[in-house]
Amino acid sequence: MIGLGTIINVIAIIAGGILGTFGKKLLSTSMQDGLLKANGLAVIFLGISGVLKEIFVLENNQLSTQGTLMMIISLAVGTIIGEAFHFEEKFESFGTWLKKKTGNQEDDSFLNAFLTATFTVCIGAMAIVGAIQDGLNQGYETLLLKGLLDFIIIMVMASSLGKGCIFSFIPVAIFQGLITLLAQVISPIMTTQAISNLSLVGNILITCVGINLICPKTIKVVNMLPAVLVAVIYAFFQ
């Protein structure tokens, strides 16, 4: 059962996507391109800020790093798994199917918009932690905040990428809905260390999404997604 927090999040994404799509019609091609690059920079620095928050620690008034080995292993193993099972091809196939079923065959930017928006709003600790809290009846404040952030992000993205961004609500609903449903099982696994690992690796992937906005198809982000799961598992060996 999808929790109230995820429902609010989904509505926020749809609303932001619709507003952004209408706004796109008012922008010239050069404005859309400029906004796309600006989006890319914003997403890159959003991801980097999350990475820096997790990787740097202050001990005895000295700045040191943590989690670097975990980061390297998670990204390496996760990418191997993703490449072996062709995750990107499968996800693109779903996006192509969705494009056809929603009557957007003529929209050349639909697939890129859908994939980019999905990775931006699905990857991250807020989605998992918020969905678990919702499932355990601990409140939906985290997902409410995420919904507000997603509304702004999707609205801006849709104004440059197009209406494909709207349909990122589907993976969000499925992903967060499943976590809410399985909250009792997942909660003990998501220790403080596991959440920290997930946040670090997840924000690296968000940074990759930003890079792809500026330089399309530079990094196969979907094939790196298993790295998030590897990061969580790694927490139990630290």
First CA to last CA distance, the chain: 34
Residues 71-97: what's their mean pLDDT? Answer: 95
Query: Could you report the per-residue pLDDT of 17-44, keeping only the tens digit for each?
Result: 999 999 888 888 888 888 889 888 988 9
Distance CA 171, CA 80 (A): 23
Asked if residue 238 has pLDDT above 90, the reply is no
The DSSP result for 36-77, as a single string, is HHHHHHHHHHHHHHHHHHHHEEEETTEEEE--HHHHHHHHHH
So what's the pLDDT on residue 36?
85
So what's the pLDDT on residue 1?
60
| Helix segments in the chain, DSSP class H | 4-24, 29-55, 68-84, 87-101, 110-122, 125-135, 141-161, 169-181, 183-186, 192-214, 226-234
So what's the pLDDT on residue 232?
94
Query: Could you report the per-residue pLDDT of 107-160, keeping only the tens digit for each?
Result: 999 999 999 999 889 887 789 889 999 988 888 899 999 999 999 999 999 998
Query: Could you report the per-residue pLDDT of 157-199, keeping only the tens digit for each?
Result: 999 899 999 999 999 999 999 999 998 899 899 999 999 999 9
pLDDT tier at 64 (50, 70, 90 boundaries)? Answer: confident
Domain spans, the chain: 4-237
> pTM of this prediction?
0.87
So what's the pLDDT on residue 177?
93
Return the number of other C-beta atoms located less than 10 Å from residue 15's C-beta.
17
The DSSP result for 23-42, as a single string, is HHTTS-HHHHHHHHHHHHHH
Name the residue with higher pLDDT: 2 or 187. Answer: 187
